[in-house]
Structure 1
């Protein structure tokens, strides 16, 4: 297994992310009944995210070109190209979801690990939804909501400043804002997470604080933006 972990790191450095994910799939399959280490979990996060980053970026670029009036005569060509990219994105997101569902979640014994994996599945359904339409959009949005809620339930006993719990609040709030178009619910989730972290900040150890504070800043930025859009710019979150 150590050799495959090493090769996953080599694939990461080489920007060969499909290979990286294949190495990681072998690692989680071969871990027996035990969950993988935090280091391997972090590799999973990096490998999976990079696997789809090119497609997410490409789809947004083509969409911007398609919407440019200068290129109106090529809109149908851009639409076809977007669909091709969207299909590739969906395929890779499903690959991630299948790996986590089949080989990671069944081995997760601790709440922290369960939150990490359930949030990850919610994330990849959300990424699929970014480019989906029609019934597929409805399906993946519902699945994202389901897994984010399961992660939220699993996180209830974690410390308010736990980085996985905060990261879940960040991404679940973005889900409500971007896919559900419900800024009030997004603000509610973000504000609850921030208030919990603020009340317990003195209990943080150095490593916890480093991981938590970067997520807290993102939550604050989003919350300020969303409240300003709602016309509530005066109701700002206090600095931590």
Structure 2
């Protein structure tokens, strides 16, 4: 957590290799930081459901308190990354690749918020996630079809449709569309390689 906090205080300009390394390290650090909490939340909700069915009100009360703490931690982590992305990373992103990377990351954390929210806040998390992913898709059109952040965005958008919105059909169409686009990109690359040989 100390490393994550010190990242936000970074003021000096970075060289491209340094920036790429730090961008990837930041993403991995936050992903690892939140992954355990997401898994815990999933497990504790399952236990809470079982205990509620059994009618164990004392256990349910204790579990609910613990669940709320985990949800609060997830919300705080997400708020931190949103602040970092909105205040520092996106305004200083000079390439479409970086913009897509950070927007995808922001969309991912809005997707994680979905699981820690209820009611109107949950609906808002879905709207925010979709809006951010769509913004990233528009910028990603400027990138080669085989670009890593563009591929990651397509994968995560498909996962969002499948896991969060429970829309298997749209998830499959999104993935197929990306695959077809990538296939065309690979064909163009092969043709240009054959032409130059």
What is the root-mean-square deviation in Å for CA atoms of aligned residues? 2.1
| 2:42 equivalent in structure 1 | 60
Counterparts of residues 1-240 of structure 1 (less than 5 Å)? 18-27=1-10, 30-32=11-13, 37-68=19-50, 72-73=55-56, 74-201=59-186, 203=189
Q: What is the rounded CA distance, in whole Å, between the counterparts of 1:197 and 1:31 in structure 2? A: 37
Q: What is the rounded CA distance, in whole Å, between the counterparts of 2:85 and 2:142 in structure 1? A: 22
Q: What is the rounded CA distance, in whole Å, between the counterparts of 1:104 and 1:72 in structure 2? A: 48
More moved, 41-50 vs 77-86 = 77-86
Q: What is the rounded CA distance, in whole Å, between the counterparts of 2:133 and 2:12 in structure 1? A: 26
Distance 1:53-1:126 versus aligned 2 partners, 3 A rule? same
Cα-to-partner distance string for 1:175-218 (whole Å, 9 max, x where unaligned) = 112222222211111111111222333639xxxxxxxxxxxxxx
Answer yes or no: is the 8 Å Cα contact 1:66–1:72 preserved in 2.
no
Q: What is the rounded CA distance, in whole Å, between the counterparts of 2:55 and 2:98 in structure 1? A: 48
Paired residues, what number? 185
Cα-to-partner distance string for 1:49-88 (whole Å, 9 max, x where unaligned) = 1221221111112112223358641233322321221111
Answer yes or no: is the 8 Å Cα contact 1:161–1:197 preserved in 2.
yes
Q: Which runs of 5+ in 1 are unaligned?
A: 1-17, 205-240
Q: Which runs of 5+ in 2 are unaligned?
A: 191-197
TM score, norm. by length of structure 2: 0.85
Q: What is the rounded CA distance, in whole Å, between the counterparts of 2:139 and 2:125 in structure 1? A: 21
The structure showing larger relative contact order (alpha-carbon pairs under 8 Å, at least 6 residues apart) is 2
Distance 1:34-1:129 versus aligned 2 partners, 3 A rule? farther
CA offset at residue 118 of structure 1? Answer: 0.7
- Which stretches of structure 1, 4 residues or more, deviate above 6 A after TM superposition? 33-36
Q: What is the rounded CA distance, in whole Å, between the counterparts of 1:34 and 1:118 in structure 2? A: 21
Cα-to-partner distance string for 1:122-165 (whole Å, 9 max, x where unaligned) = 01111111121011111221111111111001101211111110
